[in-house]
Amino acid sequence: MDKQEIKVEIEEDFANLDEIDVTEEEVEKVASEAEQQEDQPDPMLAALEAAKQEAKDNYDRFLRQTAEFENYKKRTAREMSDFRKYANETIIRELLPVVDNLERAIESSGGDEKSDSCVVEGVEMTLKSILKVFDQFQVKQLESMGKPFDPVFHQAVMREESEAYPENTVIRELQKGYLLHERMIRPAMVVVSTAKPDDNKQEKNQYESI
C-alpha cells in the first residue's frame, strides 16, 4: 500500500469522527508514519528467515561430515583388509630362498644312487610342509613352463632357439615366481624361446649378397 492509499484510508477513518477536527498536515503526518512502518521489515520474520538459513547450513554441513565419515570408514576397512592380506609378505620373501634351495637339493639328488634316500625324503617332506603353509596364506607358485612370456610375471634372463615351442614362450624355469593373493612378490626367472633361423631363407640371403 502506497502513501496515497494510506492517506485516503486515514481521511475516511477521521471523517467518521465528526467531533474531531483534523488538519491536512496531521493526516499527512499520520500517513507518512504508517508508510514508514509498512516499509520496515518485520523483526520476527527476519529472525525466522535467519533461523531457516542457519538450519539449512547446519544440515548441509551434517550431510558433508556424514559422507566424509563413511568414506573414512570404507578407506580404513580397505586398509585393514590389505594389511591382514599382506602382513606376512616380508617373512614369505625371506622364506623363498629356502624353498629354492630345497627344490635344488631334491633336483640335484634325482637318479643319484649314492644319495641317501632318507635324507632326500626328509627334504621333500620339509618342502611340502613349507608349501602347505604357503597355501594356507594364499601364496601360489606361478605356472610358467610353456606359457607365453609376460613381463608382468616373468623375468627373462636369456633366450634360446627352440623347435618344440612357439617363439616368445617360456621353455625353462630357473627360479619359480610367487603370488601373495593377487600381488606379485617375485617374478619367475625364465628362459624364453626364439624362432630357429630358416636355413633356406639364410642360404637365399647369402646367394643374394654374392
Tens of pLDDT, residues 36-82: 665 556 678 888 888 888 999 999 999 999 999 999 999 999 889 88
Buried b (16+ CB within 10 A) or exposed e, 78-97: eeeeeeeebebeeebeebbe
173 DSSP β-pair partners: 190
With CA atoms as reference, report the closest residue to 32 among 24, 20, 21, 43. Answer: 24
At residue 196, the pLDDT reads 76
Pairing mode, if any, of strands 154-161 and 188-194?
Answer: parallel
Does the CA dihedral 49-52-57-60 come out positive or negative? negative
Assigned C-alpha cell, 197: 633361423
At residue 120, the pLDDT reads 84
For the chain, which ranges sit under pLDDT 50? 17, 19-20, 207, 209-210
pTM for the complete prediction?
Answer: 0.59
